[in-house]
Structure 1
Amino acid sequence: MNKNFSFIILTYNEEIHLPRLLESIKNLKAPTFILDSGSTDQTLSIAAQYGAKTATNAFTNHPKQWDFALNHFDIRTPWIVGLDADQTVTPQLFQLLNDFNTDDYAEVSGIYFNRKNFFQGKWIRFGGYFPFYQLKMFRNGVGFSDLNENMDHRFVAPGKTIIWKNGYLLEENLKENDINFWIAKHQRYSDLVAEEELDRIKNIKAQSLKPSLLGNPDEQRAWLKRLWWKLPLGLRPYLYFSYRIIFKLGILDGKTGMKFHYLQGFWFRRLVDRKIKRLKTALKI
């Protein structure tokens, strides 16, 4: 059994994804813990087949679900790797994990993985989506889930972090091949984002990270989000979409990629802004 790290995975009706992920990591022989939120398909049966330990918790949002997972499971390894069910580990990343020895990372508290995101079978290479570094590996008892976010879940690991630029996480939600599924999911997400931004306007929530263009990848994104919140509602989706398509070369992602950039970078952002305006009007802010 791997004594360096354990995996935690969140699931909800992931029978289409979970075998793919578990196959990609099984030979690492690391303890695997799965927090489910009430699956009605074969997700838990698949988890049992791979020897994963499971628990169930009602879902509110991703940050709270990750917080529950980190505090619920009895994890004895010095490091934790947090993965989404629709991700897989490439052979190159597998090798980095296979060679990992905690003694070689004595001064490090967190490691960023490089993610490749796919939409309806297309790798989204441009528009700011690659390279894209996510803190996915962190010291047990040091890293935590950022509860100041409603939708964008991230781990925070105080101290020194490093980036593994080579070796990738592949992320492809096959359910999103049905565009109606994507739209319904983002309708729910838009409520979470609008409520979060309103909480920030009312000073109920603040960023956990210090925004910095010269900091780690999450600190850079925190800086950009702070700028985003200062832009005018209704105008900013147009600015952001243009930025992705023109300056970040999203137009080079082709027909499917352009559909993704439009949906995620414009349609979704406009929807959020409309909901924020409604909330502000109702509360007379």
Structure 2
Amino acid sequence: MLAMTAMNRLLPAALLMAGLGGALLSSSVLAGATLLLAIGGMVVSFRKSLYRAGWDKPKELRLLHFAFWFFVLVSAFSWVLEGFDYEGGKTLGTHARFILFWPLIVVLTRAAIGAWVTFTAITLISVSVLAVFLVTIAARQGALHHVLNSRFGGGINPISFGNLALLGGMLTIVGSLFFYRDGRRLTAIPVFLFGLTAVVISMLSETRSNLVALPFLLLALIPLVGKRARLAGLIAIPILVAAAAITSDRMSSSLEGFLSDGKLDNGMEIRVAVWHEAWDLFTEHPVAGAGLGGFSRHIQSQVTAGELPEAFLECCTGHAHNDLLNTAATSGVIGVLSLALLLFIPLAVFSRHLFSRHAATSHLAAAGVMVCAGYLLFGLTEATFNRSLFLTFYLLLVASIASAMFTELSRSYVRNRTRKVSATIITKNEEDHIADCLRSARLVADEIIVLDSGSTDRTVELARELADVVEVTDWPGFGIQKQRALEKATGEWVLSLDADERITPELAREINHHLADPDADAYKLPWAVTIYGSRLDFGRSGRAPLRLFRREGVRFSDALVHERILIPSGRKVRTLRGRLTHYTHRDFGHSLEKSAKYAWLGSLEKHRKGKKTRTMIYPTLRGLMTFVQVYFIRFGFLDGAVGYLTAVTYAQVTFNKYAGLWTLDRPSRKREP
């Protein structure tokens, strides 16, 4: 059993190292390792072993999965619209590799691959760059000057080699900083030298997009150094980029030619002409594009008609040498959206953790930001996602870094709480929920206070078995009742829960970790709405209500419903990652009853504040806006049929609230002369 467990961990790690380390040696090694890892992930998914182990699937990974799948679906849609063109089919075959993202996440998470293994695998990219360089020199019998005076491509396209070698070298430098901060200084020094060497060798490719990407990749290092070193780093970046540009013969000659006669070199002139063709094709087919093979057909027809020289058949039939324009030309606006999601969703996920106080997490986040920024900038002069090497490299890098980052995040909650916490809960007829709520609160609370407003079931009896203070009061409204509970709290920190909410074990570990040395004055806890047997990760679960705060100076608003916690100005509020499970209702009948109650209370509250709705158009528009926000903007569609039902329910609540407000104003208007 132990041997099998070790194999389950070692084999994925070995394949990851082989895939990344061998990517620039042979694209087949990268593709083969990625496929074998994905097959392993499919086996793990089929056996459900990861879920049985209690994996709390991060919603961020689901969001990344959607970005990869959406890109493939848009490509397939474009291919179908163009009539299953052969050239488009080849492109779709390349894009289809992205469907392996989730199996990769599953197998790497199951193997618990963290920062150490991931950065070791990334270091092998730089090792392979150096190996290719040395082998090339040896093959030319040590004629170093021949290598230095030609565009070095390591046996493949110089642009592909230069871009990926630069990215691999910079990621290796991030790894060296992690090893240094983790106390592995003897490892950090050679890793840094490998990374620096790879960056220098990448510049021998004379790839101009490297010089465009270099300053942004260097900027991603800034959060990883001390505050004193950041200013020096910001000063050093333009100096390093200028030095790289000056030593690049190709860039220097291009700049000299442009400054002397205002003309671009031949390569850039061809690219600009191709970009114009792609833009013209997009304007002709703006919605869905001309199809995956449409750009190739367009170039061929333009050459045949004599509008373009024959040289374009050799360089530019496959793609438009620009990710954005190529996608716009072949897949239209929907394709541009898919490309944006493919780059910016991972960028947003990684950026959120750039300044984490946990070393492994922050360094992996910086690596992820580098990958996204690098591909965004490389895509200015190349259609990177139409090249199988570029695409597979991006797939494996994002999957491995994301999986490792969330594995490390889960490992990072190790400290014990040092602040006293009081949990406050208000109740009425919550017999089905109160016991589980109180047990979950006890994971983080030293004191539990329950204020009941006249329950007729066993709520009070159950609460007295588990809570420290239980009192029965009248019902003045949500805000006032929660303020009463707050005034009874004696802890330095307060956790305000509803009876239908639960603190998950993962969230409890995170809260206790943060309250060992708080980095904020209040924390928002992301909801995980759970209804009809499904946990919703998006839609209404996209909200993170404020629930945990330092008690001093805090109070509740006196709203009848949807009360707010009023935090004194100047205090810092952060959002935690763990999920606050929210059991909103027992069944659909309870949903209708609860929705009607909240809608009417909302109407009364707005009317109390003097709000008015003069026509029924406004309630209708607000209901539609709520549906769009919950279902589309907050990605509620990713929660399936339950996500759709939830979006419709909340839209109905919004409509009823403003329609109720309209009715409240009607009697007073009738009495007007």
Is the shorter-chain TM-score for this pair beyond 0.5, marking a shared fold? Answer: yes
**In structure 1, what is the equivalent of residue 597 of structure 2?**
188
Aligned twin of 1:19? 435
CA distance in structure 2 between the partners assigned to 1:27 and 1:243 by the alignment: 34
- The residue type equivalent to 2:655 in the other structure is R
The one-letter amino acid of 2:506's match is: Q
Question: Is 1:238–2:624 an aligned residue pair?
Answer: yes
Relative to structure 1, the CA distance from residue 172 to residue 202 in structure 2 (aligned partners, 3 Å threshold; closer, same or farther) is closer
Aligned counterpart for 1:150 among listed residues 560, 567, 571: 560
Distance 2:531 2:654 in 1: 18
Q: 1:248 to 1:29 in 2, by over 3 A?
A: closer
| Counterpart residue identity of residue 192, structure 1 | L
- Name the residue aligned to 1:207: none
1:116 to 528, 537, 547: 528
Q: CA RMSD in A?
A: 2.6
User: Any idea what the Cα deviations from partners look like across 1:54-89, whole Å, max 9, x if unmatched?
Assistant: 111222321121122223x2x322111111111111
Report what 1:208 is aligned to: none
Q: Which has the higher strand share?
A: 1
Match of 2:492 among 54, 78, 89: 78
Q: Label 1:246 to 1:113 Cα distance change in 2 as closer, same or farther (>3 A).
A: closer
Call closer, same or farther: CA 1:281–1:81 in 2, change over 3 Å: same
Structure 1 residues 21 and 280: alpha-carbon distance in aligned structure 2, compared to 1, 3 A threshold: same
1:200 and 2:609 correspond:
yes
Give me the whole-angstrom Cα distance separating, in 2, the residues matched to 1:239 and 1:114: 22
Structure 2 residue identity aligned to 1:47: A
Percent of residue pairs bearing the same amino acid type: 23
How many Å separate the matches in 1 of 2:437 and 2:630? 30
Question: Is 2:504 aligned against 1:90?
Answer: yes
CA shift, 1:51, in A, is 4.1
1:210-268: CA deviations, max 9, x gaps? xxxxxxxxxxxxxxxxxxxxx93332212332343333332332222211211112x22
Residue 277 of structure 1 is matched in structure 2 by: 662
Whole-Å separation in 2 of the counterparts to 1:167 and 1:250: 19
Q: 1:254 to 1:115 in 2, by over 3 A?
A: same
Aligned to 1:248: 634
Alignment match, 2:483: 67
State the match for 1:126 in structure 2: 538
Q: Offset of 1:100 from its aligned partner?
A: 4.7
**Cα distance in structure 2, aligned partners of 1:15 and 1:243:** 33
2:580 is the alignment partner of 1:166: no
| Distance in 2, Cα, partners of 1:157 & 1:239 | 29
Aligned position for 2:468: 52
Query: Structure 2: which amino acid aligns with 1:66?
Result: K
Q: Secondary structure at the match of 1:235?
A: helix
Report how far residue 272 of structure 1 moved: 1.8
Match of 1:167, SS state, is coil
Runs of 5+ in structure 2 lacking a partner? 1-416
Report how far residue 33 of structure 1 moved: 0.6
Distance in 2 (CA, whole Å) between partners of 1:192 and 1:184 is: 12
Distance 1:26 1:247 in 2: 35
Shift in CA distance, 155/234, structure 1 to aligned 2, threshold 3 Å: same
Contact between 1:92 and 1:166, CA under 8 Å: does it hold in 2? no
In structure 2, give the amino acid aligned to 1:251: F
Looking at structure 2, the residues matched to 162 and 125 of structure 1 have their Cα atoms a distance apart, in angstroms, of 22
TM-superposed deviation, 1:188: 2.0
| Higher RCO, Cα 8 Å, sep 6+ | 1
Structure 2 counterpart of 1:5, from 414, 418, 421: 421
Counterparts of 1:197 and 1:51 in 2: how far apart (Å)?
35
User: Where do 5+ consecutive residues of structure 1 fail to align?
Assistant: 204-230
- CA 1:139–1:274 in structure 2 vs 1: closer, same or farther (change >3 Å)? same
Structure 1 residues 109 and 142, CA gap change in structure 2 (3 angstroms): farther
TM-score under structure 2 normalisation?
0.35
| Length, aligned pairs only | 249
1:219 corresponding residue in structure 2: none
Structure number with bigger Rg: 2
Q: Structure 2 CA distance, aligned partners of 1:113 and 1:252?
A: 21
Deviation at 1:34, TM superposition (A): 0.5
Give the direction of change, closer, same or farther, for the CA distance of 1:120–1:58 in structure 2 (3 Å limit): farther
In the aligned structure 1, how far is the partner of 2:607 from the partner of 2:460?
37
Q: Which residue in 1 is equivalent to 2:235? A: none
Counterpart check, 1:138 vs 2:553: no
- The DSSP-based 3-state class of the residue aligned with 1:38 is coil
Task: Give the 3-state SS of the residue equivalent to 1:65 in structure 2.
Answer: helix
Structure 1 residues 59 and 78 mapped into 2: Cα distance closer, same or farther (>3 Å)? same
Contact 2:626 2:647 in 1 (8 A): no
Aligned letter for 1:90? Answer: T
Larger fraction in helix: 2
The alpha-carbon deviation at position 115 of structure 1 amounts to: 1.7
**Distance in 2 (alpha carbons) for counterparts of 1:273 and 1:29:** 39
**TM-score normalised by the chain length of structure 1:** 0.78
